[in-house]
């Protein structure tokens, strides 16, 4: 899947009309307009008034509250560092046309800028009836400018729904924080890219990544380039067609990715980076993994995780990475981990328990695998008719517990205890 294009927009030198009353809130100059009514209350505010607010703002800009109905392809341009106080406002884009422009567009902000958006809801166009192959590259909130490595973007208590390609799209590196939010989009809930050899880090906390009822065939919760660091805590991803967290891209430098208490429901948990170091702490993959399951590339340690439902953990061919599963709970509908032809490296399964019902399998190694697997003190309850450990290639050593009944090894595979 190709990454989204980073764009550079030079701020216009024209003078813009300024409107709205200047107020002082907490000692900061603020542009304010309209009432502070709840999000269910319609307003007579439109795109022009919102743009005037942004143009007149000092360090902060307060939106009016209530519901603001906007025509398709509305674009609100952010021209300077600012904190946007959404004030519970809902920006509702009419119709079901595929957006061609981002709604809140901060692409012109230069390096060193800071953008924060709080307490805002954005309802994008309806995706009902869209072909699953439809391209939608615009974002509900966008800041895409190359080499903005010294910049900060904060999104707090923000909801995005509907047919924008991304709920939040940040390209250029730097610092990205998404907190207490619920993000959805046709392609992804959030995207964090950097394509020019720079650096960046992301904090994702207490956030839901929720796919639209109808999303692109390859939709993802979070799409992040592999050399950008990530800490994700208390995150729920629901109904994406691929992964909740998708680590992918061409930069070769190593990133550090830590997922703590991330739950994937009816989608796969993660694709990890080839050169990245990944820690999974008390994560959950459950329900129907629509693309098959989690895909591990580089070194991964998974502690206290739960794997239930249809997902199968896949391992990339030719990788010499270490993968360790400590005290995991495993209740698969089919095969929990499949090691295909050319898969290499080492895998350790320590402690925890596996419950195998029906035709469920804990491990399957194909003839071309050379992976070395250790299963140590893992309680395996094999009540079904499947083959608990199926070794047709590589080597599996079981210690601390008996080899589960009906397990087998076919040459060149080796199963020992």
- Span 14-32, average pLDDT: 30
In tens, the pLDDT along 285-341 reads: 999 999 999 999 889 999 999 999 999 999 877 777 789 999 999 999 999 999 989
Dihedral over Cα of 261, 266, 267, 268: its sign: positive
User: Cα(112)–Cα(149) distance, rounded to whole angstroms?
Assistant: 8
Residues 6+ apart with CB under 8 A from 131: none
What is the value of pTM for the model shown? Answer: 0.89
Report pLDDT digits (tens) over 348-382: 999 999 999 999 999 999 999 999 999 999 999 99
The yes-or-no verdict on residue 417 having pLDDT over 80 is yes
Length, in residues, of the chain: 417
Q: Given this model, what pLDDT does residue 18 score?
A: 27
Q: Is 87 helix (H, G, I), strand (E, B) or coil?
A: strand
Looking at 20-107, list the stretches that DSSP marks H as alpha helix, in order from N- to C-terminal side: 47-56
Note the pLDDT of residue 14.
26
Q: In this predicted model, which residue has the larger pLDDT, 12 or 31?
A: 31
Number of Cβ within 10 Å of residue 310's Cβ equals 18
Inter-CA distances, 293 with 203, 326, 381, 403, Å: 24, 19, 22, 26
Confidence tier at 162 by pLDDT (50, 70, 90): very high
Rounded Cα gap, residues 327 and 338, in angstroms: 19
The pLDDT value recorded for residue 129 is 94
Bridge-based pairing state of the strands 21-25 and 28-32: antiparallel
Region at 50 (left for phi over 0; alpha for psi -120 to 50; beta for the rest): alpha
- Torsion angle, alpha carbons of 188, 190, 192, 193, to 10: 30
**Contact of 297 with 320, CB cutoff 8 Å:** no
How many helical (H) and strand (E) elements, i.e. helices and strands, does the chain have?
A: 1, 39
Residue 16 and residue 18: Cα distance in Å, rounded?
A: 6
pLDDT digits (tens, 9 = 90+) for 52-88: 999 999 999 999 999 999 999 999 999 999 999 999 9
Give the whole-angstrom CA distance, residue 351 versus residue 367: 27
Nearest 5°: CA angle at 358, between 307 and 351? Answer: 40
Query: Which of 416, 376, 373 lies closest to 400 in space, CA to CA?
Result: 376
Mean pLDDT of 106-131: 97
> Mean pLDDT over all residues of the chain?
90
């Amino acid at each position: 899947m190709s990454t989204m294009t980073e764009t550079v927009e030079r701020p216009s030198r024209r003078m813009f009309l300024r409107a709205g009353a200047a107020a002082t809130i907490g000692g900061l100059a603020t542009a304010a307009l309209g009432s502070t009514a709840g999000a269910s209350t319609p307003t007579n505010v439109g795109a022009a008034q919102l743009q005037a607010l942004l143009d007149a703002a000092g360090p902060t800009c307060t939106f009016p509250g209530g519901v603001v109905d906007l025509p398709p392809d509305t674009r609100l341009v952010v021209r300077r560092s600012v904190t946007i106080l959404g004030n519970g406002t809902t920006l509702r884009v009419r119709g079901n046309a595929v957006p061609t422009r981002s709604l809140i567009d901060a692409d012109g902000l230069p390096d060193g800028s800071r953008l924060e958006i709080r307490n805002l809801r954005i309802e994008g166009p309806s995706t009902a009836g869209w072909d699953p192959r439809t391209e939608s590259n615009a974002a509900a909130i966008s800041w895409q400018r190359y080499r903005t490595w010294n910049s900060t973007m904060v999104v707090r208590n923000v909801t995005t729904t509907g047919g924008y390609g991304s709920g939040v799209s940040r390209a250029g590196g730097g610092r990205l924080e998404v907190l207490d939010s619920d993000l959805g989009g046709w392609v992804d809930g959030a995207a964090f890219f950097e394509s020019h050899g720079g650096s960046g880090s992301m904090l994702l906390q207490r956030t839901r990544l929720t796919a639209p009822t109808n999303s692109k065939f390859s939709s993802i919760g979070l799409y992040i380039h592999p050399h950008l660091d990530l800490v994700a805590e208390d995150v729920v991803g629901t109904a994406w067609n691929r992964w909740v967290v998708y680590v992918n891209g061409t930069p070769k430098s190593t990133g550090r990715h830590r997922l703590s208490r991330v739950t994937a429901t009816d989608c796969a948990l993660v694709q990890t980076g080839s050169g990245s170091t990944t820690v999974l702490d008390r994560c959950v993959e459950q329900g129907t993994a629509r693309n098959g399951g989690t895909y591990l590339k580089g070194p991964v340690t998974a502690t206290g995780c739960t794997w239930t439902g249809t997902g199968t953990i896949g391992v990339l061919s030719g990788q010499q990475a270490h993968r360790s599963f400590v005290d995991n709970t495993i209740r698969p509908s089919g095969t929990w981990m499949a090691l295909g032809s050319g898969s290499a490296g080492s895998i350790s399964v320590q402690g925890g328990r596996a419950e195998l019902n029906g035709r469920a399998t804990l491990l399957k190694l194909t003839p071309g695998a050379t992976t070395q697997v250790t299963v140590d003190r893992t309680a395996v309850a094999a009540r079904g008719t499947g083959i608990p450990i199926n070794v047709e290639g590589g080597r599996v050593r079981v210690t601390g517990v008996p080899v589960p009944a009906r397990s087998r090894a076919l040459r060149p595979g080796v199963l020992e205890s």
